[in-house]
Amino acid sequence: MAKRHSKKKKPSRSRLVHKHDGTPVVSGAAREGRSRDEDAITRMGKRPAGHLTISACMIVKNEEECLPRCLRSIKGLVDEIVVVDTGSTDNTVKIAQSFGVRVYHHKWENNFSKARNISIGYATTDWIFIIDADEELEADDVPLLKKTLRETYFKAVSISVYNFSREQAMYTSFLPSIRAFRRETGGYYEGIVHNMLRLPESEHVLRLPVRLKHYGYGLSKEKMARKVERTKTLILQQLEKNPDNGYAHFNLAQLLRGEEDIPSPEMMDQVIYHAGRAVELSDPRKQGERHIHLMAMHQLVTAYYNKNEYNKAEEWCHQALAIRPDYLDALLSLGHIYSSTRRLDLARKYYLEYLDRQKNYDEHNETEYLILLHLRSRHNAFFGLGLVAEMKNNYREAITWYEKCAAEREDYLDLQYRWGLAHYHLGEFADARRRWEKRIKANPEHGDCHLFLAEALHREGKIAAAKEHLFRALELGDKHSIAYYRLATIEKEKKNPQKALEYINRMQAYDPEFTDGYRLRGDIHFDLSDYVSATEDYQRCLESTPNNGELLNNLGNCRFRLGDYTAAEELYRRAAATDPDFGEALRNWGLALARLDRVDDACAALEEYIKTHEDESNTIGFLGDLYCRLDNVQAAIRCYETVLAAEPSRAETWLRLADCYHAQGHIDAALLGYETVLKLAPGHAPTLERLQQLREHLTKLKSLKEAEITARSAVPV
C-alpha cells in the first residue's frame, strides 16, 4: 500500500531559488528584503554522501499513444519507474511493463493529488522525479539532470516545462516547475486538480536549465473536449467546497479562456468573474501567490480584449507591469491593444519593448511560477509591427517586419497575405502574386487571397488565370460582390459588354447595396449607348455620394448624348466645382457651353482647362474654332499654331490656319498653308477649291494691276 502522510508539513511560500551552478537567483523574497536562512546556506555546502538513486513517479490512464515516448526519454535518468494506473482500458499497462516499470492499480477517485501521492508512496529511492505520460524529457538535458540529482546538496530542483505543439513544431507556452525533490523532504501534493507540490517552507530550490516538453494540449478535438470537461468538473468541485480558493478561480478562468475557438462575450464574462476573484484572493507581495495574481491579471486583459473593451484591457496590463515590468505577456498584449485602437506609435513602442525584453529573457533563471504564453512570440510582435506600418501606409517598412516574422515562423497567421498586400500597395504586383500563391497553397480556401491574386494576375495581363481565381472565390461562397465585380470589369475591358452586364446583374442580385456595382453597370450601359439606363445607375450612385465629381461628370455625359445640353452643362459645372483638379469636367463644361451657344463662356472654360493640359491638341483646336466663331482670328491662329507645333501632320488644322491667314490678308501665308494641306492630303477637295479661288483672285488682282499700269502708260504726256 502507498505510504500515508500522517502530518502535513507547512507549505512553502518564499523559498530562495538558486541556479544550477549554486549561485542564488533573486526570488520574490529576496527582492522584498527578507533575510536568508544562514544555517541552510551553510548546510548546502556539503555534498550528499553515497550514490543517490532516482524514481520516476507517474499516474496514467489510457496513455498508449504517449507513454512510450515518455518512458524512452527518462530511461537513462532514473533507477526505477513507478506507475499508478487508474483504470486504463487500452495497452497502457502492457507498454509500461515492457519497459520494466512497476505498475500499481488504483481506482480513479477524481483526485489527482491523491493518485500522485500514492505513486510517491511506492517509490524506494532518494529522489522523486515527477513526469506525466504526455511529457518528454529533452535527451540532451538528461546527463545534466542526472549528474545534478546525484551530486547536488539541494533537495528540490525546478526545471523548465514547455507546452509543445507537435502540429506547429514549436513551444506555445512555458512555466518553471519543481519536478524533482528528495523523498526525505516529505513533499506531497494538494488539490484534486492542477495539484500543487508542498515542501517545507525552509527548503531551497535549485533552478536547472533542463527542458521538459508537454504535449497535453495537442490532443484530438474529441480527447481535448473530454479532458476539458473532466478538469472543469473537478475545479467546480473545488470551488463548491471552498469558494475562496483563488488558485481554483484562476484555473477555471484559464480553462474557460481557451474553451471556445471564437470567444463569445458570455464566455469572456465568466473569465472576467473568475479571474477577478483570483486577483482579489491573491497577494502580489507573497511569492507563493504573486504568480497567480499576475496571470489572473493577464486573463482579465485577454477577456476584455476579446470583448473589445480595450480601455479595461489596457488598464490591467499596466497594473501587471507595475508589479513586474518585464512581464512578456502583458507587454505583447499592450502592443495588440494599441494596434486595435489605432494608437500606432504606442503599439510600436510596446512591440519593440517586448522584443527587447524577450531577447534578454532567460527562462532558466525564472524564479516565479508564471505560465508565460509568449515566451517565444517574436513572430507575433514582428507581425504586429508589420500591421502598424501598413496602417501608417509605410508599406516598405511593413515588408521588412514581415520578412523578420517569416524568418521566425513562415506560416504565421495571414503573414503571406498581408505581405502580399504591402507589395500590392507599392505596385509590386509580381511579388504580391508570389505571396498570395504561397498563402493559397497553404490554405486553398482563403477567399480574399483568391480575389487579390486575381487582381494581380489581371494587372499582369493573365486574364484566364485571373478568372479562374475569381470563380474559385465564388465556389468558396466568399466575397461574391467583389468577384462578380471584377469579372464584369474584365469582360468590359475585353469589349464584351453583354457578358459584363450579366456578371454585374448577378452582383446586384447578391448585394444590391454595393454602390460601385451601379457605377460599373452605368459604364457598361454607356458603352452600349443605353444612356437612359446609364443615367439611372449613375443617379443611384449619387444618392450615397452626391458630391462625387466623377459621377456628376458621367451623368453629364449621358445628358449630353441625349441632347439635353442644359442639364449636361449644370452637371459638368457641379463636377468642376466639386473637384477643381478634375480637368475632364472643366473641358466637358466648355463643350456643353459651346452647344448652348454660350461661346464666350465656353472659351473661358477651355482656356482654363488647357493651362494644365497643354498637350490636348483636340481641345486646343476646338478652342480655335470657337474663337473663329467670335471673329477673334488672332486667338484662333494662336490655338492652331500651338496644335501644329505638336502635331504638324494635322491637315484639317493647316486648312483652318490658312483660312485665318487668308481672312487677315496674309496671302502668302495662306498659300503656304493650303499647299501644306495638299502635301498631307493630296486631292483634298475643299483645299483645292480654296486654292483655286485664291489663285483666281490673285490672277484677277494681277490683271487689274496690269490694266491699271497700261491705262497709266496710255495717258498723253
Query: Which domain does 213 fall in, by range?
Result: 17-218
Q: Supply angle C-alpha 316, 320, 323, rounded to 5.
A: 145
Contact indicator for 402, 438 with CB cutoff of 8 Å:
no
Integer Cα distance of 676 and 661 in angstroms: 14
Which residues partner with 214 through β-bridges? Answer: 135, 163
Q: Is 25 helix (H, G, I), strand (E, B) or coil?
A: strand
Parts of the chain with a pLDDT under 70: 1-50, 166-171, 218-220, 701-717
Is residue 664 in a domain? no
pLDDT tens profile 124-153: 999 999 999 999 999 999 999 999 999 999
Q: Which residue has the cell 505638336?
A: 646
Q: Supply angle C-alpha 218, 90, 124, rounded to 5.
A: 85
Element (H, E) at 533: helix 531-544
Is residue 402 in a domain? no
Is residue 337 in a domain? no
Hey, how many other C-beta atoms are within 10 angstroms of the C-beta on 5? 14
The CATH number of the domain holding residue 108 is 3.90.550.10
List alpha helices for 545-684, DSSP H: 549-561, 565-578, 583-595, 599-610, 617-629, 633-646, 651-663, 667-680
Contact indicator for 467, 493 with CB cutoff of 8 Å:
no
- Which three cell numbers, joined as nine digits, stand for 31? 527582492
Contact indicator for 67, 96 with CB cutoff of 8 Å:
yes
SS3 of 91-143: the string is CHHHHHHHCCCEEEECCCCCCHHHHHHHHHHHCCCCEEEECCCCEEECHHHHH
- Which three cell numbers, joined as nine digits, stand for 647? 502635331
Contact indicator for 486, 455 with CB cutoff of 8 Å:
yes
- Which three cell numbers, joined as nine digits, stand for 170? 514549436
Alpha carbon distances (Å) from 185 to 149, 180, 202? 14, 11, 10
Residue 42: the pLDDT is: 35
Full DSSP string of 188-227:
EEESSSS-EEE--TT--EEEEEEEEEE-TTSS-HHHHHHH
Contact indicator for 363, 371 with CB cutoff of 8 Å:
no
Mean pLDDT (the chain) is 89
Q: Which residue from 550, 560, 562 is spatially nearest to 594, judged by alpha carbons? A: 560
Full DSSP string of 464-530:
HHHHHHHHHHHHTT--HHHHHHHHHHHHHHTT-HHHHHHHHHHHHHH-TT-HHHHHHHHHHHHHTT-
Q: Supply angle C-alpha 130, 134, 136, rounded to 5.
A: 70
Is residue 130 in a domain? yes
Element (H, E) at 381: helix 378-391
Is residue 538 in a domain? no
Integer Cα distance of 413 and 415 in angstroms: 6
Q: Which residue has the cell 493640359?
A: 613
Element (H, E) at 450: helix 447-459
Is residue 126 in a domain? yes
Integer Cα distance of 154 and 613 in angstroms: 87
- At a CB cut-off of 8 Å and minimum separation 6, what does 535 contact? 522, 555, 558, 559, 562
Residue type, position 668, single letter: D
Can you say whether the dihedral through the CA atoms of 545, 550, 555, 556 is positive or negative? positive
Q: How many domains does the chain have?
A: 1
The angle, 0 to 180 degrees and rounded to 10, between the axes of the packed helices 497-510 and 515-527 is 160
Integer Cα distance of 85 and 100 in angstroms: 15
Full DSSP string of 305-358:
HHTT-HHHHHHHHHHHHHH-TT-HHHHHHHHHHHHHTT-HHHHHHHHHHHHHHH
- Which three cell numbers, joined as nine digits, stand for 656? 483652318
Q: Is 462 helix (H, G, I), strand (E, B) or coil?
A: coil
- Which three cell numbers, joined as nine digits, stand for 68? 512510450
Contact indicator for 558, 538 with CB cutoff of 8 Å:
yes
Residue 29: the pLDDT is: 36
Is residue 153 in a domain? yes
Residue 167: the pLDDT is: 60
Can you say whether the dihedral through the CA atoms of 327, 333, 334, 335 is positive or negative? positive
Alpha carbon distances (Å) from 633 to 625, 637, 639, 657? 9, 6, 10, 9
Residue 226: the pLDDT is: 83
Element (H, E) at 17: strand 17-19
Q: Which residue from 619, 558, 562 is spatially nearest to 594, judged by alpha carbons? A: 619
- At a CB cut-off of 8 Å and minimum separation 6, what does 1 contact? 121
Residue 708: the pLDDT is: 62
Is residue 119 in a domain? yes
Residue type, position 602, single letter: A
Integer Cα distance of 454 and 470 in angstroms: 6
Contact indicator for 275, 292 with CB cutoff of 8 Å:
no
Hey, how many other C-beta atoms are within 10 angstroms of the C-beta on 659? 20
Alpha carbon distances (Å) from 121 to 58, 78, 189, 598? 11, 16, 12, 108
